Copies of this chain bind each other. A is one copy, B any other.
């Protein structure tokens, strides 16, 4: 199977979430038109995206909700799960750690890191927490795949470098600083405040 575009993956994740809530509501079938409306894209786009996972609907009943959810999950989920560590336990790091631990059965939350011992204590009922100097050792030993980075702006690249040396596969960077990466490591920059600037711009733009 050849590589699936990032945009498609992102929408598949959205469809899946919608399908899960439909399952919860007891809906059994859905048309591309409806799914598109709920996801915020066009029906053609939905059908295109579903082509790549090879699941076919019926022109009469549309798509079977639970079968489709299963097919998307089969594509998206790593069969062995994903091994997660959180680096930085401020408010955001703490919230994300909790959320991942409770809401993502496919993620194993295996370690947290913070230089502050008080912060480390807050998470002791969820996973072991270590000082920053232990990152390389633990990430290697636990073969962590994914790190969530929420340290406070300074030395971001340094933390990233340590994670890369330790063999991390992906970094979710909640820091406002872009990190430079070798090809084979996936980085998602996710500056929360960027969206504020953008919205502020577009709030004014429509006036003309």
Q: A interface vs B, CB < 8 Å?
A: 6, 9-10, 13-14, 17, 37-40, 76, 78, 80, 82, 84, 91-92, 95-96, 99-100, 103-104, 106-107, 145-146, 148, 169-172, 176, 178, 180, 184-186, 188-190, 192-207
Q: Is the CB of B106 within 8 A of A200?
A: yes
Neighbour of A204 across the interface among B6, B17, B82, B197, CB < 8 A: B82
Find chain B residues with CB under 8 A from A91 CB. Answer: 91, 95
Q: Could you show 30 A-B contacts with beta carbons less than 8 Å apart?
A: A9-B198, A9-B202, A13-B197, A13-B201, A14-B178, A39-B178, A40-B178, A78-B200, A78-B204, A82-B200, A82-B204, A96-B196, A103-B193, A104-B196, A104-B200, A107-B200, A145-B204, A146-B199, A146-B203, A148-B196, A169-B202, A169-B203, A170-B200, A184-B206, A185-B206, A186-B205, A188-B198, A188-B199, A190-B192, A190-B195
